[in-house]
Chain A
Amino acid sequence: MRNILEVSDLCVSYGKVEALSNASIKVGEGQIVTVIGPNGAGKTTMLSAIIGLLGSRGTVNFDGRLETTPDVEHLVACGMSLVPEKRELFGEMSVEDNLELGAFHRYRNGDRRYRETMAEVYEIFPRLKERRTQMAGTLSGGERQMLAVGRALMAKPKLLMLDEPSLGLAPLITREIFRIIAELRRRGVSILLVEQNARAALAVADYAYVLETGAVAMEGPAAALRDDPRVIDTYLGLGGKHQDMLAA
């Protein structure tokens, strides 16, 4: 299987503090790969560095091309999409305008078929269609997350990177979001999923990395990690029963 993304020895420093040291990960085409780990482990930093929002050392190989200095605009145009932790929606614009802007670089390159993609997004998220004239800032937390994912899908990405999609969402909505992530994989989108909700992430993913204090501590097929005693101890723990119900 071909790898859509290969990151080797990625390092990011904030001043003297190294937030990410020599992280190497791979995402195979059509796979869901998840990165789990505690707060402050450097998960968000890693995604920001991969897409070029943060300066970094190391190499990022995306879709067969080597990016020595990743640049956001360039990578987005090449088919990488990030749904950031903060969503970064355009609050005072309508849902439909937000979605349209997701297809901006396609429009710029002369691809006028984004209306069809919008119909697909509405099919995945019927709620967004109901609210399409509403300002994005007035949506509920779950709807915002749906809009952020929908907006990223408008770009027809080859790789979708999701940063904590379940953060701050009610359990029922979280379940809905994970159902959609599985559905996207079925439609052939490769996904890099960063999550604190380890149980739900491991349930949906093919392969997983555990990030601790800026370095990859463990990796393996998601099913294997789910049964690894260290992972159970640290990340799945006692709350497991409750989360089990969510992930099911």
Chain B
Amino acid sequence: MDLDIALILTQDGITSGAVYALLALALVLVFSVTRVIFIPQGEFVAYGALTMAMLQQGKVPGTLWLLVAMGVCVAALDLFRVLRGASSDGLASSLGWSLGYPLLLAALVNFLPASDSLLVQAALTLAIVVPTGPLLYRLAFQPVAESPVLVLLIVSVAIHVSMVGLGLLFFGAEGARTQPFLDAQFALGSVSLSGQQVWVLLASAGLIVALWLFFGRSLYGKALRATALNRNGARLMGFSPVFAGKLTFLLAAFIGVLSGILIAPVTTIYYDTGFLIGLKGFVAAIIGGLASFPVAAGGALLVGILESFSSFWASAYKEVFVFTLIIPVLVWRSLTSHHIEEDE
């Protein structure tokens, strides 16, 4: 192997590592706030990419009907609770979000002429798939929010399996690619960078900075961190765990869908591709102990680079290498970790 190949491999690795980093951040966020190990994170990547592809083909994506159906379920649940005597405060706004928004979006997609602009398609994709995140939290996790981690994990696996099944129904077994955002090539010494790679890197870096600012500066971000540190304390500040859960799932879905839109032009995405991508993000999140954002991001780059190098040397085993990485990491973590007692 010469230097050029090594550089190309590193460059490839960093590009996919950037996407894994985004997913790892989402996984760490969801786990630390809600204690859910979010297996379906990858499905949001596939749903994002394939919804975008269907919009480009001028079809109405099935995810739109999923959004409407989930909205109807949530609205029915809310109405049922009010009929059973719960307070009706905020019912109007919650119905607006669970019924009004999906129906309005469905009308928009069905009756407006399809747009050729990639930005419009990307915005529509985000508008369709991202809200399923909080709806999913409301339907699947909110009723069992206080359960042990294991129960939450099993719910998470069930959602993963159903989302893959629904993905097959919505998008078919065919894979799809989307048009690239930027059809340019940049020469960087002996290495050439494709426009899409630059896009992926810039967007990931931008999103990471935005998340960092959100959690470090804004009071909502701080409140999410506070919920992760001490749920009771956060409740006493008037920050409800339900709201925290919905906000977290909104962010996780947004990160997943955006990653899907970013990688769709460079990788062929199938209805079940998301799982493997999500799992690599998960390996990175484990490197960060499901708690540390910077270590998880670093781990993601490591996973990406390891994957691209092993696909060069022994491409049949590239997944094996990546997932074997988790064993030394777990050994190292269990040897170095010290249990910190709960505050007081």
Contact = CB atoms under 8 A, between A and B. Distances in A.
A105 interface: yes
Given A101-B222, A151-B237, 13 more contacts: A53-B235, A72-B236, A76-B236, A76-B237, A76-B238, A87-B344, A88-B343, A91-B343, A101-B223, A101-B234, A105-B238, A137-B343, A155-B237
Interface string B219-232: 10011011001101
A66 B261 CA distance: 51
Among A76, A88, A108: residue with most chain B CB under 10 A: A88
Determine chain B's interface SS by DSSP, over half rule: helix
B87 to A, nearest CB: 8
Contacts of B230: 88-91
A104 B233 contact: no
Q: Classify chain B: how many residues form its interface, as a range.
A: 10 to 19
Contacts of A105: 237-239
A82 B234 CA distance: 12
A90 B229 contact: yes
A51 to B, nearest CB: 8
Interface of B: 219, 222-223, 225-226, 229-230, 232-240, 343-344
A86 B343 CA distance: 8
B212 to A, nearest CB: 15
Interface string A44-75: 00000001010000000000000000001100
Interface residues of A, number: 28
A104 B223 contact: yes
A69 to B, nearest CB: 8
A102 interface: yes
Given A100-B219, A100-B222, A90 B235 contact: no
7 contacts: A53-B235, A73-B238, A89-B343, A91-B230, A104-B219, A105-B237, A155-B237
B237 A89 contact: no
Contacts of A176: none
A53 B232 contact: yes
A228 interface: no
A218 interface: no
Nearest to A75: B238
Contacts of B229: 90-93
Contacts of A81: 236
Contacts of A53: 232, 235-236
Given A76-B237, A101-B237, A93 B344 contact: no
Given A87-B344, A89-B230, A82 B236 contact: yes
A97 interface: yes
A37 B235 CA distance: 27
Interface in A94-152: 97, 100-102, 104-105, 107-108, 137, 151
Contact of A72 (B223, B225, B238, B343): B238
B225 A102 contact: no
Contacts of B238: 72-73, 76-77, 104-105, 108, 155
B219 A89 contact: no
Given A86-B344, A91-B230, A107 B219 contact: yes
A38 interface: no
A244 B336 CA distance: 50
